[in-house]
Amino acid sequence: MDCSTNTFMLTGRIPAVRSAQITTCVAGASHRVKLGTSDLHVSECCLGTMTWGVQNTEQEAHEQLSYAIDQGINFIDTAEMYPIPPSKETQGRTDRYIASWLKNQKREDLILATKVAGHGNKYLREGKETRVTPSQIEQSVEDSLKRLGTDHIDLLQVHWPDRYVSLFGGAAYDPANERDDIPFDRQLRGMAAVVKSGKVRYIGVSNETSYGVMRWIQASEQLGRPRIVSIQNSYSLLVRVPFDTDLAETCAPRQCNVGLLAYSPLAGGALSGKYMSGTAPEGARLTRFPGYMERYNKSQARTATGEYMKVAEKHGISAVELALAWCKQRWQVASTIIGATSMTQLKENIGAFDIKLSEECLADVEEVYKRFRDPTIR
């Protein structure tokens, strides 16, 4: 049975092969993978939700959820601080939109991931600075469960480290910025407590480093507590460091076996080409969250994006399809988190998982990467 036939049987759609350089993949977005050392079998495409409540209405969120589930996706990712950009007024809307949809679904068929905030948020804990302490982890889980209308979370992730880490394309690590932080063993005790209570099944990290992953694993081995099974980090054609180097080794199945959940695979939409003029479209994420997104709009990032767009055109696919199909084919990636503000975007994003890039196409991508290794570093 050929690859296209398998895709039709699994999705009910006959995928078109648009280029001699492209073939359709066996299972597409619905294909399941085992996440790290857990028994969670997640779809290779995960539905991200961070725009729901600012850029998307509740009805639009429900439409996206229903469509994604119909396409075989079983993995949904949220966070206690969503939607983004964060604010006291909107915090928690995303979860409430999921909850109202979840009432009419089979909860056991879905894998629901959320995140507890790292160091520094000012409005989640009634004006108290967020820290990854056992008491705050417990409060975060209780509040998330209430908003989501469920009795358990399948994957609880630390949204960003409690300690100082250079994040989001920031400058090189500077010891002068180090601060007091919650010890790893204490953080793990808090995570272990919510697992033991049955409110959380598995734990993971996000925006983490190799050092952090190793310390989490070390703490779990020393204390006999649950291991992290996933790491949610930015990963795309524009952002491959540090995951392609030391983090890839650290998280590899033979080593710590921590599955990568790749977020921002389209670099905040930049890899679609919509920022190529240098001016963001009205309502785009770059204009709503400039401090975080500006790194994708730098001249070097735009130049690299233009080169990847040429690769996509050469091989008969869209820039979005190239970026997402590439991410899916990376051995480092367990599941790719997509997000959309319209159904047109969502359908294109999910459809990209039916594409398998040829060796020639992948070689062309690598040629661009050799010239633009870190185009988003600030």
**Distance separating alpha carbons of residues 210 and 232, to the nearest angstrom:** 13
Q: Which of 99-108, 271-280, 285-294 has the highest mean pLDDT?
A: 99-108
Residue 146 to residues 141, 150, 165: CA-CA distances in angstroms? 9, 7, 31
Q: What is the pLDDT, as a whole number, of residue 148?
A: 98
Question: Among 77, 265, 79, which Cα is nearest to 160's?
Answer: 79
pLDDT tens column, 236-283 = 999 998 899 899 999 999 999 999 999 999 999 999 998 887 666 666
Contact between 76 and 261 (Cβ < 8 Å): no
pLDDT value at 201 more than 50: yes
Q: What is the pLDDT, as a whole number, of residue 283?
A: 63
Q: What is the pLDDT, as a whole number, of residue 276?
A: 86
Name residues whose C-beta falls within 8 Å of residue 230's C-beta, 6 or more positions apart in sequence.
35, 36, 38, 155, 157, 202, 204, 205, 258, 259, 260, 261, 334
Task: For residue 372, give the H/E element and its range.
Answer: none
Mutual orientation of helices 58-70 and 93-102 as an angle, nearest 10°?
50
Which domains, ranges and CATH numbers included, belong to the chain?
3-371 (3.20.20.100)
DSSP structure class, residue 125: B
Averaged pLDDT score across all residues of the chain: 90
Q: What is the pLDDT, as a whole number, of residue 22?
A: 45
Q: What is the pLDDT, as a whole number, of residue 171?
A: 82
Q: What average pLDDT does range 309-325 have in this prediction?
A: 98
Q: What average pLDDT does range 343-368 have in this prediction?
A: 98
Contact between 94 and 50 (Cβ < 8 Å): yes
Q: What is the pLDDT, as a whole number, of residue 81?
A: 96
Q: What is the pLDDT, as a whole number, of residue 285?
A: 64
Q: What is the pTM of this model?
A: 0.91
Residue 366: CB atoms within 10 Å:
9
Report, as residue numbers or ranges, the catalytic residues: 82
Task: For residue 95, give the H/E element and its range.
Answer: helix 93-102
Name residues whose C-beta falls within 8 Å of residue 152's C-beta, 6 or more positions apart in sequence.
145, 198, 199, 200, 201
pLDDT tens column, 49-83 = 999 999 999 999 999 999 999 999 999 999 999 99
Name residues whose C-beta falls within 8 Å of residue 49's C-beta, 6 or more positions apart in sequence.
61, 76, 77, 78, 82, 83, 94, 97, 98, 339
The single residue listed with the structure tokens 């480093």 is 209
pLDDT tens column, 126-168 = 889 999 999 999 999 999 999 999 999 999 999 999 999 998 8
Q: What is the pLDDT, as a whole number, of residue 59?
A: 98
**Distance separating alpha carbons of residues 147 and 95, to the nearest angstrom:** 6
**Distance separating alpha carbons of residues 14 and 344, to the nearest angstrom:** 18
Q: What is the pLDDT, as a whole number, of residue 179?
A: 94
Share of the chain above pLDDT 90, in %: 79
* Beta strand pairing call for 32-34 and 41-43: antiparallel
Residue 71 to residues 104, 334, 344, 360: CA-CA distances in angstroms? 17, 18, 14, 29
Q: What is the pLDDT, as a whole number, of residue 288?
A: 67
Q: What is the pLDDT, as a whole number, of residue 242?
A: 87
pLDDT tens column, 202-212 = 999 999 999 99
Q: Which of 129-138, 288-297, 368-377 has the highest mean pLDDT?
A: 129-138
